[in-house]
Structures are given as structure tokens and as C-alpha cells.
A and B are shown apart, each in its own frame.
Chain A
Amino acid sequence: MKEKKGMNRRRAIFAGITSAGALLLSGCLKKALPTYGNILRMGDNLTYIAQRGLLSQRALAMEYQKSDITSFPVTDIGDPADPASKAAYSKVYQELQRNNFKDWTLSVEGSVAKPGKYSMDDLKKLGERTQITRHSCEEGWSAIAEWTGVPLAALLQHAGILPAARFVCFYGFDNYGESIDMLDAFHPQTILAHTMNGETLPARNGAPVRLRVETQIGYKNVKYLQRIVVTDKFVDAGPDISNGWSWYTGI
């Protein structure tokens, strides 16, 4: 078939779609996360931008009934109280656990007006939320449990989060870390859980406090929390990206 010169309807539609795409991309590039040139991480960024742009950021993840609660596997990188788990071991944690976490505090640092250490009692004074939600692991399995904890938003507000802050990093005693953006940090279901299925958070489920981010995949939910750092710039606390994993896991 011979090509017709000029703009026909089909070409006009196609040109429209591509230029809209280009506009969208250039508008978002300023905020784009580092990819280190990896095409897979660029794909992850596209998902992040699209989910932030197209989905409701206040919508709650599905909450379930008590009768829906399932068994819950522990598949983390190791017990921080056990010297045999090598990379995950922390002597400090082991001693805190021996004393039933009475001396445990959560350190809040970075872009906050009042950095400081919060004991369990300090945290519990900030508020409480209970939710029965689903934990979806990247491996493919899922589990439902009831979590009670302090809304992260309440803690960040109490610490006086500064206007320039954009990310919140979480570090566990098991040398694991993750970071999330402000939309997830201030999501009503993002809590620092101290209670699971009505009992004090069991040791291997992340005692004494773990993060719950219900709009992302399981590995964002840092256990055995030690430190929270609020940052103005993106910090790959995992590091997820340089380890070859997606930083944003809304899918």
C-alpha cells in the first residue's frame, strides 16, 4: 500500500498520545527516583508515578473480619537476638530482649523539629489504631492478621516534621531498612505495630515494634524497629535499588 503524505486521523491520534506521554514524563522527571541506568528500575519508577497519579492516595486497604485471620509465616533475614543469624544479629537487641524490651526506645531523627527517643509508653500515648489487614509477600503468599499500633502520622507530627521533608527511612535491629514517601507515611493505615492478634508483638514477628504499610508489598514492613530518619532527599535505606529490587512496591 502506498503511503499518504500529511496528517490523517490515525496519525493525529497517535501523535496526540505520544506527545501527552512525553509531557507526562517530563513533568514527572524532576521527582523521579534514581535508577542507576537500569531499565527495570525505570519500569518501577513508571509504576510509582502512574500509581501516585492515577490512584486515590487516601483509599484504605481492605480490612478483614476476625474470622479471616490466617497463620503467619516468618520469612525475614534472621533473628536479631540469635548470634547464629550473622548479618541480622545485634548484641544490643539481644540484651534489650533479655530485659523484655523495658529499655527499648525508638529514635526519631532527621528533618524534625524535635528529634528524640520514644519509649513504648511515649509511643502509646500518641494514639492507637487497630486493623485486620493482608500482608502480601513478593514471593506470592499472603497472610491476614490483626495489628494494633501508633499511627506513623501522629509520631511524625509529634516530632514536628519539617516542611522540606519528603521521605521516611526505617531501620531495624536486624540491619534491614526501608524508606517510604510522605503519601505512604501519612496514610491512615501506616502504623508502628506493637500488638499482633491481640498479644504483644511476638519475638519473630518483629518485637517490640514493626512497621505496617498496607498499600505496599510485604518487604517494606521493617521489623525490630530501632531508628526512624526523616529526610529531604531520597535515601534508598534498604538498599532496594542497588540490590536489584524495586523501591516502590504498590504492585
Chain B
Amino acid sequence: MGDVQHKRWVKGAHFIITLSFLALTVSGYVILMSHPRLYWGKAGNDLTPALFELPISRNYQHGGWEKRIQFKHLTGSQISAVRTYDIFNQNGWGRSTHFLAAWFLVITGLIYLMFGFFSGHFRRNLVPRKKEFSFKLFCHDFASHFRKQLYTGGKYGLLQKITYMAVIFFLFPVVILTGFTMSPAITASYPFLLKIFFGHQSARTIHFFSATALLLFLLVHVVMVVRSGFKQNILAITFGK
């Protein structure tokens, strides 16, 4: 932030990814509302134990089940039961909006990554220099985030660099890959996804937590943008020179 001059492709990617991320957040929340239960493992549903449940729609612990029937030839306690409760479900547009926005995010993200690597943007602006790894500098950087006047020197600070790199090279890839892991067609071709994320429902839970982490990042990011000079920063990332 500060006096950073952003390249046009950085601004363009930032703009498209911001919009897609907001659309993904809203539609993702709507999708979660239709089944606000999260699990760990290969599969999970209303008749199996949840990891936790979120009170975010009328579907939360609705209890509308009848005719619990045991499967005759299974040795376990697996049952089938009929849902009698008319659930909240807006996934018709929720899912399609989610995937459309995901297309924009993934394609823009790939182009951004390509440009970032080949233009030297990542190397120059995001990868911390050796001399930045000093305890004194770290303390200074850390403390400056809580001062009234945030330091703005035209270059990213160490914490800022690490955060941006974690978002670009860890959180976004995880959120996208766990999204893929919920797709029956993609996992048929790439079953390793189900292995590395511990199953379909674990992937869904990791998807939820990494999306939440990205939302938290967005929140802190906006606070820092405001604190280090809102007008100047917004101009720098949008239409300013």
C-alpha cells in the first residue's frame, strides 16, 4: 500500500478477483444455508454425526425425519429415513452463481499467476528479502500495525508480504482444490483429491474454513487499506496513476 504503483494487469486482476470473491461469498453462504452441517470424512448427512452445525437458516436442526428403517443386510447401524421437513433451498441459482464466479476467479487467477511469475512481480514485490528476516525489523513492523499512523514506504512490509503470499499461494489454491474435490466428475478423473483432503465431507469442511480465513483476510485488508490512506490506496489499485 502507500505509494506503491500497481501495474495495469495487477489492477485488472485485483478488480475481477474482488468481485468474484464477493459473489462466491454470498452464493457460498446461500449454499451452506441449505445444509448448515459440517462433517469430517468420506461422507456425511443428517443421519450421521456432524462435526458442528451452524444456526444460519431454518434448516438448522430441523428434526423433520420419519420412518427410520434399518438396512436388512448391513451389520452396522446404518438407517434410511424420509425427510418430512420442507427445507430452505436456493441452490438452483446459488450453485450456478458460485460456479460462474469461480470460473472468473480461476481464469483470472491463472493469468495473474502467469504474469506474476514471468514479469518478476512476485520476485520483486512479494518474496521477502533476506535482510528482512531480522527480529528487530519484525518487531518494528509488527508494532507499526498498531500505531496511529501506519508506516507507508511504497514497499510491502514483511508481515504484508507473508500474508499476501499465504493468500495467493496457499488459501486460494486450497479453497479452489477443495471445491474441485466436491465435484463427482473431477474426482472421478483425479481421485487423489479425495485422498489429500481426507474425503468428500472433509474437503467441504476445509473449503468452509479456508473461505472463512479468506474473509478474515479481506476484513483485515480493508481495515489496513483504510488506516494507511484510503483514498490514495483505492486510487492506486483502481483508476489512479
Contact = CB atoms under 8 A, between A and B. Distances in A.
A43 B43 CA distance: 28
A217 interface: yes
B185 A216 contact: yes
B42 A64 contact: yes
A72 B47 contact: yes
A133 B111 CA distance: 36
B122 interface: no
A141 B45 contact: yes
A59 interface: yes
Contacts of B9: 10
Give the size category of B's interface with A. Answer: 35 or more
Contacts of A139: 34-35, 87, 89, 91
A141 to B, nearest CB: 4
Given A17-B111, A55-B188, A73 B80 contact: yes
Nearest to B36: A140
Contact of A62 (B80, B187, B201): B187
Interface stretch (A23-31, A158-166, A197-205): A197-205
Interface in B80-95: 80-83, 87, 89, 91-93, 95
Contacts of B51: none
Given A69-B78, A199-B72, A214-B184, A141 B100 contact: no
Interface in B81-124: 81-83, 87, 89, 91-93, 95-97, 99-100, 103, 111, 114-115, 119
B71 interface: yes
Contacts of B42: 64, 68, 134, 142, 144
B176 interface: no
Contacts of A140: 31-32, 34-35, 37, 204
Interface residues of A, number: 57
B35 A55 contact: no
A51 B76 contact: no
Contacts of B96: 40-41, 43-44, 245-246
A71 B48 contact: yes
Contact of A142 (B32, B119, B201): B201
B43 A142 contact: yes
B80 to A, nearest CB: 5
Contact of A51 (B43, B71, B186): B186
Given A204-B80, A214-B188, 17 more contacts: A10-B119, A55-B188, A56-B189, A62-B194, A67-B76, A72-B47, A72-B78, A73-B46, A139-B89, A140-B31, A142-B44, A144-B42, A199-B73, A243-B92, A244-B92, A245-B96, A246-B95
27 contacts: A1-B241, A10-B9, A10-B115, A17-B111, A40-B96, A43-B97, A46-B103, A59-B188, A62-B187, A62-B194, A71-B79, A71-B81, A73-B65, A74-B81, A138-B91, A140-B31, A141-B43, A141-B44, A197-B72, A198-B71, A202-B69, A204-B67, A204-B80, A204-B82, A215-B185, A250-B183, A250-B186
Interface of A: 1, 10, 13, 17, 39-44, 46-47, 51, 55-56, 59-62, 64, 67-75, 79, 134, 136-144, 196-199, 202, 204-205, 214-217, 243-246, 250-251
A-B complex: 10 closest residue pairs judged by Cβ atoms: A250-B185, A43-B100, A140-B35, A71-B47, A198-B73, A141-B45, A40-B96, A251-B183, A244-B92, A142-B43
